[in-house]
Amino acid sequence: MSIRADLSGKVAFIQGGSRGIGAAIAMRLAADGAAVVITYNSAADKAKVVVSEIEAAGGRAIALKADSADAVALTASIRTAVEKLGRLDILVNNAGVLAVAPLDQYSLDDFDRTLAVNVRSVFVASKEAARHMPDGGRIINIGSTNADRVPFAGAGPYAMSKSALVGLTRGLARDLGPRGITVNNVQPGPVDTEMNPDRGDFAEMLKGMMALGRYGKADEIAGFVAYLASAEAGYITGASLSIDGGFAA
């Protein structure tokens, strides 16, 4: 029997919610009773599917176009969400990019976009969301187990960006703790998505490094996020929590 959090009456904003882990989080929070706003950059068709599935199940969802690397657009999308739904209780910073290349071929453009999306957008969205959140709100960042372990070459900037979230999460938890707003960082291991399928030589290599020997499912990450968004998780803040099948064990 699945245990659901009671998020009735809450509004959740998920940046990067059109596919993969973000889409699974949006659908889970909606199933638990929250009205959901998702952002997308290029996958408008996939965002529409997420909204349609949530609405078909009796939930409420809105999709807004916003490039997470664009601070103005991201801030405006949060304000639009509050205007349309009247409040904001939960922020999930899920948007992320991954560029892998040998050090001597890694472009500064890829480096700068990695920081803009994976780190700066978390700061920008958290700063704006905190202006609208009531006391007791939730901010949940989606990091990566690569903050702790990078067993392949070419991912230094990505790992650095996810390590930066560890410190940012701790700092934001201190800033917002007096208001009862918790800030946590979820660190998934390899998860089966369209962008990172659980098959192929690379996937098999990663499976060999994991205690459970398998990729995770997006729904498993979503369930963990739903718990952190719930009232039961009110004493957890400033934490970086791995859900990685033992990848970093």
Catalytic residue positions, numbered: 158
Q: What are phi and psi of 231, to 5 degrees?
A: -65, -30
Rg (CA), the chain: 17
Alpha-carbon distance of 228 to 237, in angstroms, equals 9
C-alpha 147: how far from chain center: 15
Distances (CA, A) of 19 to 52, 98, 219, 235: 13, 15, 12, 30
Find the helix packing angle between 108-115 and 156-176, rounded to 10°. 20
Q: How far apart are CA 36 and CA 210, in angstroms?
A: 33
DSSP letter, residue 146: G
Q: Which residues pair with 13 in a beta bridge?
A: 37, 91
Residue tagged 């958290």 (tokens): 126
Q: Tell me, what DSSP letter sits at residue 122?
A: H
